[in-house]
A = this chain, B = another copy of it.
C-alpha cells in the first residue's frame, strides 16, 4: 500500500473539520424548517421505508431508542410523521412520514445539497466524481468491522 501511506495526514483529522463545517451549514437550513438534525435524519430514513418499531428506526440511523423519543414527539406534533400503535402488537408504534413531512424534507434537502455542491465545485471534475463514488462506496461498507480487524 505504498501509494497510500506516503506522509499523508490522518484521514480522521482531515475529514473531521469538513464534517463539522457540513453540519454547521445544515443548522440554519434545518432551523428554517423547524426540525432538528435527528429530525432530519428520521425523516430521511422514513422517506425510504416506514418503520415497524421505534427501536428499529433508531438503530437504522445510528441512534439509541431513548435518544429519538423527543425527536419523534416534535415531528409528530408538527405533523411531519404519523405514529400509531401497531394493531398486531400494541406495544409497538408504526411510523411513517406524512406528505407535509416529505415536503419539508425535500425543501431542506434541496438547500443542503446546494450548499454541498458549492464545496464539491471546488474539486476538479474527475476528482469530484471519484470522491463522490468513493464516499458512496464507503457508506455501504461495514466500516466498523473493517477498521476493527
Q: Which residues of A contact B (CB under 8 A)?
A: 1, 3-5, 8-26, 41, 44, 62, 109, 112-113, 115-123, 125-139, 141, 143-144, 146-149
Q: How distant is A135 from chain B, measured CB to nearest CB, in Å?
A: 5
- Chain copies in complex: 2
Q: Show 19 A/B contacts (Cβ-Cβ < 8 Å), sorted by A.
A: A3-B128, A4-B117, A4-B128, A8-B132, A8-B136, A10-B116, A12-B19, A15-B18, A17-B143, A21-B147, A115-B147, A116-B147, A118-B146, A119-B141, A119-B146, A122-B138, A122-B146, A123-B134, A130-B130
Complex CA gap A133/B144 in Å reads 23
Q: Which residues of B contact A146 (CB under 8 A)?
A: 118-119, 122
Q: Which residues of B contact A12 (CB under 8 A)?
A: 19, 22-23, 26, 112, 116
Task: With A4-B132, A17-B143 given, name 14 new contacts (CB 8 A).
Answer: A3-B129, A4-B117, A11-B120, A12-B116, A14-B136, A17-B62, A20-B62, A21-B147, A22-B143, A25-B148, A122-B138, A123-B138, A130-B134, A131-B131
Select which of B4, B120, B144 is within 8 A of A1 by beta carbon. Answer: B120
Known A-B contacts A117-B5, A129-B3, A134-B130; the reply to A147 vs B14 at CB < 8 A is no
Q: How distant is A45 from chain B, measured CB to nearest CB, in Å?
A: 10
